[in-house]
Amino acid sequence: MSDQERVRVLSVLVEDGSNTLSKVSGLIRRRGFHVRSISVGPSRAAGRSRMTLTVDAGHAEVDQVRKQLERLVEVVEVEDVTGQYVHSRELVVAKVSASEVAGLLKRGAKVLDAGPDGTTVEFAGEGKDVGDFIDELIQHGVLDVARSGPVVMRRTA
């Protein structure tokens, strides 16, 4: 099984609560799965949040995680959206030397801040595009970088 086949994306609708994130991440950790990223944000329903989990596991193993998550009182809905028709975006924020900015802007980066010690840029896109952008940053001597995990939403026809 290739590395890419082991990466699964789960969209989890949860009730807001002070321990919800730790319960969800603890359940996955206890099962021995590697969580590559967790993104959490508000949903359209008051009192609920949408979590996007990127988990390194096989399909059958993720089905087991999904079933365990559904048992948590705080979890309203779990959906494995891997390979489905979704909008998916990631964000990278990086500090680079001022001389490297022009090429990054041509790729679609936006300047957030410029100063004598470097320029901070942001770039958003699909995971592959963000990965390619980071590869380019590395070639140009990136000073600092932070990358989010994916945020996904089902596309509608």
Residues 107-146: tens digit of each pLDDT: 899 999 998 888 999 999 998 999 999 988 888 778 899 9
Backbone angles phi, psi at 48, to 5 degrees: -130, 150
**The model's pTM:** 0.78
Return the CATH architecture of domain 3-80.
Answer: 2-Layer Sandwich (3.30)
DSSP 8-state secondary structure symbol assigned to residue 31: T
The count of C-alpha atoms lying within 13 angstroms of the C-alpha of 26, restricted to the half-sphere facing its C-beta, is: 6
Q: Average pLDDT of 54-62?
A: 75
d(CA 52, CA 127): 14
Please say whether the beta carbons of 81 and 152 come within 8 A: yes
Angle between helices 20-30 and 59-71 (to 10 degrees): 140
CATH code reported for the domain at 86-154: 3.30.70.1150
Q: Where in the chain are the domains?
A: 3-80, 86-154
The yes-or-no verdict on residue 12 having pLDDT over 80 is yes
Do domains 3-80 and 86-154 share one topology? The answer is yes
